Amino acid sequence: MEFYETVSSRHSVREFRADAISREALDRIIAAAASSPSSENEQPWEFYVTTGKTRQELGRVVAQTTVYLTEYMDVLGPERYDDAVKWFSSLGDAPVLIAVAIPDSGDEFKLMNRLLSVGAAIENLLLATRVEGLGACPFTFSYWVKEQLAAVIGLPAGQSVVSIIAVGWPAETLAPVPAKRTDVAVWLG
């Protein structure tokens, strides 16, 4: 798949088939993420790839997020409540969940650089899933259950999960990509 086609055709998939994903494909996806640029080449990311029993346990913990949806409604709006409950309850039945963690930091500048770096890694991961013919959906609203998430994946002290990415084969043909703004650049002479 050509690069610009990959970028323009990638969007979040929220319903997956239960079909397994090969270890080789997952290795390529993680390698693409690890090839991302990072501030001072720190490479602050760690990817916890969960399948099988661990994926189910991670999904069970994330499903507890629905308990906190009233707080989330301020962000989403009440018209999206049912969609949010459905998503967090099943995570689209994705066979793979990838938890992305970075080291904690009390230094605001260092933390910002780590978050920017991990954002680039996640984007590479998302593009790689598209090239593999897979779908993915990154999400960040695991804050309320962060201690339980850490326990499930064996996260060492001093690290935090910043995103979880559901990965799998799309349940059906990908829907058209939602319209994107194109007036995002301010050109200065």
pLDDT digits (tens, 9 = 90+) for 42-54: 999 999 999 999 9
Domains in the chain with CATH codes: 9-170 (3.40.109.10)
What average pLDDT does this structure show over 64-81?
A: 68
DSSP one-letter code for 133: T
What average pLDDT does this structure show over 100-126?
A: 96
C-alpha pair distances (Å), 83 with each of 30, 86, 145, 147: 29, 5, 20, 25
pLDDT digits (tens, 9 = 90+) for 8-42: 888 889 899 989 999 999 999 999 999 999 999 99
Identify which has the larger pLDDT, 5 or 26. 26
What's the distance, CA 9 to chain centroid? 17
Identify which has the larger pLDDT, 108 or 72. 108
The 10 Å Cβ neighbour count of residue 74 is 8
Tokens of 65: 């997020």
DSSP 32-94: HHHTS--GGG----EEEEE-HHHHHHHHHHHHGGGGGHHHHHHHH-GGGHHHHHHHHHHGGG-
Q: Compute the chain's Rg from CA coordinates.
A: 17
